[in-house]
Amino acid sequence: MRIVMIGAGYVGLVSAACLADLGHEVVCVEVDETKVAALKKGRIPIYERGLSELVLANQSASRLSFTANLNDAARAAHAIFIAVGTPALGEVGSADMRYVYDAARDIASVIEDFTVIVVKSTVPIGACDDVERIIGERVPRNRFAVVSNPEFLREGAAIEDFNQPDRVVIGVEDERARLVMAEIYEPLSSVRASILYTSRRSSEMIKYAANVFLAMKVTFINEIADLCERVDADVLEVSRGVGLDSCIGPKFLTPGSGFGGSCFPKDTLVLTKFAREAEAPIRLVETLVEVNEARMAAMARKVIAACDGSVVGKRIAVLGLTYKPGTDDMREAPSLVIVPKLQAAGAQIVAYDPAGMRTARSLLPGVQLAEYAYDCVEGADAAVVITEWDEFRALDLKRVRAALNQPIMVDLRNIYSIETMRSLGFRYFCIGRGFRYDERSAHPQVQEFSSRGVSRTAREDRPDAELSMPYSGDWTRIGIT
């Protein structure tokens, strides 16, 4: 099939390369000419494992090409995919649809024969109707059909997810378009991908419902982690025990510093707003948004608490800046909240990330960027793991311990073993792992802080003191407001 992909971002570029690899002839149209120039030379503007090799292989096989000009590409296409961004509009929370609608207008001015327009971007329910209306203002209705085909790939595992999807959802209400979509995804039948045909609106809704459900799972385990800290349970054991239930499943049950990225934050906001407008508010999701925002700030407070209540003038080494490992994407990354809060509390930040440094430079002013993880921790008063890159799991921890000025490690992703860290002499703070690990006899200086900042040691030493009460939230006393 001849396919045009509009947008060469995280979704468009991966989808274009994967569709070409399935044997289709794909032209990727990107409005950013610098990206097009780079891609033509085989340089990939984003970091995604395996993507560079896939793009180069399909470019040299003449199945994949790049252009900034939709005209030539679109005329002969069987299907034109729209994979442009749909960011949330500031505080308002609606999806910014201007890129999708601009793409629809561009398409309307170029198609000649019957063409299927495939909306791959995540769009609010009913948006495909709008795309149909925009194109229909210039093109006779029998010459095109609009299909919803949301993307479920995860950055960091995007190629694998595209090629071995749990399901492909196709919202289609036109038989000719259904046949074209069936042919496009036919090669995936060899991996037994479930192809689910639905109405367009159901398809649009599936994408939001799925994403918001996963965001809820993450937030749920984060709150359970907080509770584990209070009641001396270990969230890793709890998460495993819960995730082994086949009704629940283990994925997205790893506690951390709050969800970020280009999808969960905006999709929860957009669904919340959309549901309110439809007079069917989803209160569960509204709460989710608030809890997640509060969590990132709480993580900054956790770091400050671990540094004995103040980071003023202290050098804090941050390991990992991207919102997850395996990508250079910094959109809505927890580091963008945690780092500025630590700076505001008086810390000097030095940071290292295996893939996100280029983007981080402009997003995190005042942060010193180190070239390697070991340079980052050298002379620091504490190290903080924000993103769980494998590189950090494999660090020589003895070397890290020796490089640090103070042996404080705040691990917001639980990548290290408590026993190992303590045996190496670290003061180790992690997420949701309980009191029974407190080895104060061996390390009398050790204090465990929950993410709400209650000192466990102090709590035990003074069982009748105010610290035995749930913490009421006056963080000014530990240097951050």
Buried b (16+ CB within 10 A) or exposed e, 180-193: bbeebbebbeeeeb
Report, in Å, the least distance between residue 14 CB and ligand NAD: 8
Contact segment (CB under 6 A) with ligand NAD among 82-90, 129-137, 300-308, 467-475 equals 82-90
Cα angle value 147/150/156 (rounded, 5°): 150
Q: The tokens of 284 are what?
A: 């569960």
Q: Name which position in 3, 4, 19, 84 contacts ligand NAD (CB under 6 A).
A: 84
Contact segment (CB under 6 A) with ligand NAD among 25-33, 215-223, 333-341, 350-358 equals 25-33
Phi, psi of 478 (to 5 degrees): -110, 20
- Cα atoms in the Cβ-side hemisphere of radius 13 Å centred on 20: 27
Q: The tokens of 281 are what?
A: 């508010």
10 binds ligand NAD (CB under 6 A): yes
Q: The tokens of 264 are what?
A: 């969960």
Catalytic hit among 18, 128, 263, 307: 263
Report, in Å, the least distance between residue 59 CB and ligand NAD: 18
Q: Name which position in 3, 4, 11, 305 contacts ligand NAD (CB under 6 A).
A: 11
* Helix locations, 142-199, DSSP H: 158-163, 175-185
Contact segment (CB under 6 A) with ligand NAD among 1-9, 270-278, 308-316, 343-351 equals 1-9
Candidates 63, 61, 49; CA nearest to 14 is 49
Q: Name which position in 21, 25, 132, 155 contacts ligand NAD (CB under 6 A).
A: 155
Q: How many residues does this entry show for the chain? A: 481
Question: How far from chain centre, in Å, is Cα 20?
Answer: 25
> Which residue has its beta carbon closest to ligand NAD?
9
In Å, what is the CA distance from 303 to each residue of 190, 308, 377, 411? 49, 9, 15, 9
- In the bound state with ligand NAD, the residue whose beta carbon lies nearer, of 84 and 299, is 84
Report, in Å, the least distance between residue 207 CB and ligand NAD: 7
Question: How far from chain centre, in Å, is Cα 175?
Answer: 35
160 binds ligand NAD (CB under 6 A): no
Report, in Å, the least distance between residue 31 CB and ligand NAD: 4
Report, in Å, the least distance between residue 7 CB and ligand NAD: 3
- In the bound state with ligand NAD, the residue whose beta carbon lies nearer, of 34 and 189, is 34
Applying CB under 6 A, the site for ligand NAD has a residue count of: 27
29 binds ligand NAD (CB under 6 A): yes
222 binds ligand NAD (CB under 6 A): no
> What's the CA gap between 179 and 163, in Å, rounded?
20
Q: Name which position in 58, 59, 86, 203 contacts ligand NAD (CB under 6 A).
A: 86
Q: The tokens of 320 are what?
A: 């990992």
- In the bound state with ligand NAD, the residue whose beta carbon lies nearer, of 54 and 377, is 54
* CB neighbour list of residue 314: distance below 8 Å, 6 or more residues apart: 307, 346, 347, 348, 381, 382
122 binds ligand NAD (CB under 6 A): yes
Report, in Å, the least distance between residue 83 CB and ligand NAD: 5
31 binds ligand NAD (CB under 6 A): yes
- In the bound state with ligand NAD, the residue whose beta carbon lies nearer, of 130 and 223, is 130
CB 410 within 8 A of CB 429: yes
Q: Name which position in 3, 4, 8, 370 contacts ligand NAD (CB under 6 A).
A: 8
> What's the CA gap between 300 and 447, in Å, rounded?
17
Report, in Å, the least distance between residue 71 CB and ligand NAD: 12
CB 115 within 8 A of CB 78: yes
- Categorise residue 313: left if φ over 0, alpha if ψ from -120 to 50, beta otherwise: left
In the annotation, is 228 catalytic?
no
- Coil, helix or strand for 351? strand
Report, in Å, the least distance between residue 61 CB and ligand NAD: 23
Q: Which residues of this chain interact with ligand NAD, rule CB under 6 A?
A: 6-12, 29-32, 35, 83-86, 99, 102-103, 106, 121-122, 151, 153, 155, 262-263
Residues recognised as catalytic: 263
